[in-house]
Structures are given as structure tokens and as C-alpha cells.
Structure 1
């Protein structure tokens, strides 16, 4: 009888130790998963000639692994000071963690570029710039002509509002803005859209957002009247960041 009791106690001790071991291994696996991050090395030349073919390359990693099946990798470029007139281009997946595209620029200027990358339920968009020819940007042309002073964001902060395209009255649309700090997605920020029709500045709509993936804040809105609207994106966080940026949107009549 006593031998059976000791045997039962021994089995119970082994089971408890095994459970602790499994729990520790699971915790280690979870910790290992948590420290992984989505990395994108965005490669592009710093200078090029007008009409020269330029290769853009994104090297995508997750932890120490190359990401061969990213959900999306696109390059977006625009002339500095004219971000609202941007061009988005698809990439070729080389099936080895690299994604490439070719582009050329038809006149002198300074161009800025994002590598929009979504993989492993994460999003990041590293930014680069390239000088074409003499490199006079649209922003500098505007300043020389007596235009308004361009407001600068906090150093390291980046904001990119996704273009809305053709907006119709009474049509529900998605609002989407990507935020970064030091080339990393800016997480857990308080982001709101302030929207008003320029013909009726007394009525301001405030729209809250949700962080759908890291650094990407989304919401939806329906414009009830035709006209020119101003959308101001307000960004704050617990570290004292307070940024805003304005965008104009033309709302047209829908089809009857």
C-alpha cells in the first residue's frame, strides 16, 4: 500500500514538472514571437538623370527570415512639395524576400518615395528621396514664387494620407492614414479627422479612427453635400506628440 502511494506521488511530481516545462517553452515561444518585427530595407539611388531608368528595391524581413510572400509591396513617389499628386507602382516579387520595380522621371526635381509594405499583419512604409538632374523641387518653385511657407513635422515623424480618388456625395468612403516615427510604425496614437465643407466652416465633423494594423489608422465618412472639403488629420500620443496636416477633397454629384 505504502509503495503504491509513493509511486502515485512520483507520477504526480513528474506530471507537474512536465507541465511547468511545457509552460516555460510556450512562454519562450511567445516571447520569441513578440520580439520579431517587420523590417524593410528600401534601396534606391540618391541621384539620377532625367529619363534614366531607376531600380527601386525593398528587402523585406520578419525577424531573421526573408519574407517571400508579403501581402503587398508597392512604391509610391511624388515630387517634393506636391505629395497629393503621387504615383503608385506595383512591384515584382523575386520570391527571395526582394521586391523590385523600375521607374524614370521626366524632369528635374527632388522626389520622395514610400515603400508601402504589408506582411505578417504588420505595415511599414520606409521613405527615401532621390534627386533628378538639377534637383529643383516643386516646393522650392512654390516658395520662390511667393507661396506659403511649408510646415515641417517633428523630426522623424511621417504621415501619409491615402488618396481618396473620385468622391461622390452621399457615398461612404474609407479614410486611411499611415503614421511613422523614425521609419517605424507609430503605434497607439490618438488619431482623429476634422472635416468641414469650405462653404460652411461653422460645422465641423470629428471622426475617430481605429488602428487596423500597426501604424495604420482607418475610419469611414459620408460627405452629405457637394463642394470642397478640408480634412485635417490630428495626431497625438502619450509622449507629447501633437501633429496635424490638412488635405483638400472635391466632392461631386453622384449618379441618379
Structure 2
């Protein structure tokens, strides 16, 4: 009986050792998983910082990057622009392709004040949505107070999701 118990103990040890061997981490485990390739967007704000007169518009440009390389093929680039006080809102609209990896949109900004622009860009199920604050013309007292209070872009209205 004692031999059977010892034999059973050895058998269990061998089986346990074999099972645990399969649980070790392979030396190339990290290479077998997809590595995140974050997107970035370089946003170019309009050079003209004055309100538009009739027939004029401001141009916004975005360049999409991934792994420090400018991307010429993306799934989408949309712009969303709004005035901080809510008196002017351009909901999310697709950008025009200017050249390899540069996308633009033109919008009329007829009023002075504090504005925000949000770029929605996506590539292969990866999406980025940076928001940037800018000023056109002169700030009102209300705009200045918002800035002093640490104004945050709260008014963007995406319209729909991707």
C-alpha cells in the first residue's frame, strides 16, 4: 500500500510539473501582442485673428500623425467649432483633403470672442479628439471672465458618433 501511495505521489508531481511548464511566459510574449500606435493631430489655427467680413472665412488645418509619421490615409477627419458663449456653433463636419495628411475646413467667424475647435480624427479604430482654444478679435468682459475662471470647452456638440 505504501508503494502505491509513493507511486501516486510521484505521478501527481510529474503531472503537476508538466502542467506548470505550460504556464511559463514565453520570451517573445510581448511581440505577440499588438502595440498601441497612438495618433496625434497638429492643428493649425487661422492666421487672421479678426472677425470675418461678408464673403470671408477662416481656414483651419489638421495634420494627422502616427508613430511620428504623417498619415496620408485616414478613416475620417471632422472639425467642430463653437463660440464659448454659445452664440455660434458649427457642428461636426467632414474636412476637405488638401494634400497628403493635411485636412482643412473653412468657416465664417463674424463675431469677436473666445472660440474652441475640436478635431475628430480616426484611423483603424483608433480615434483622437483634441480641442484647442483661440481668440478672434477682442474679448468681451464675459469672455475674459471665462478665461480667468479657467474656461473649459463644454459646449461642443458632436452631433453623431463614429
After TM superposition, give the deviation of residue 111 of structure 1 in Å. 1.2
After TM superposition, give the deviation of residue 162 of structure 1 in Å. 3.1
| Structure 1 residues 29-68: aligned runs within 5 Å | 30=33, 33-45=34-46, 48-51=49-52, 53-68=57-72
Partner Cα distance (1:107, 1:84) in 2: 9
Partner Cα distance (1:152, 1:60) in 2: 26
- 8 A contact 1:44–1:55 mirrored in 2: yes
Partner Cα distance (2:124, 2:99) in 1: 16
After TM superposition, give the deviation of residue 27 of structure 1 in Å. 3.8
- Count of aligned pairs: 129
Partner Cα distance (1:128, 1:163) in 2: 19
2:83 aligned with 1:79, yes or no?
Answer: yes
After TM superposition, give the deviation of residue 57 of structure 1 in Å. 1.1
Structure of higher RCO (CA pairs closer than 8 Å, 6+ residues apart): 2
Q: Which runs of 5+ in 1 are unaligned?
A: 1-22, 144-149, 165-175, 177-212, 214-256
- 8 A contact 2:80–2:158 mirrored in 1: no
SS at match of 2:35: helix
After TM superposition, give the deviation of residue 84 of structure 1 in Å. 8.8
Q: Which runs of 5+ in 2 are unaligned?
A: 1-26
TM-score between the two structures when normalised by the length of structure 2: 0.62
Aligned to 2:18: none
After TM superposition, give the deviation of residue 72 of structure 1 in Å. 1.2
2:145 aligned with 1:135, yes or no?
Answer: no
RMSD: 3.5
* Aligned with residue 162 of structure 1, among 143, 158, 161: 158
Pick the structure with more strand per residue.
1
Partner Cα distance (1:42, 1:73) in 2: 12
Partner Cα distance (1:162, 1:56) in 2: 17
After TM superposition, give the deviation of residue 81 of structure 1 in Å. 2.8
- 8 A contact 1:69–1:95 mirrored in 2: no
Larger of the two Rg values belongs to structure: 2
After TM superposition, give the deviation of residue 54 of structure 1 in Å. 2.2
SS at match of 1:48: coil
Aligned to 2:21: none
2:102 aligned with 1:106, yes or no?
Answer: no
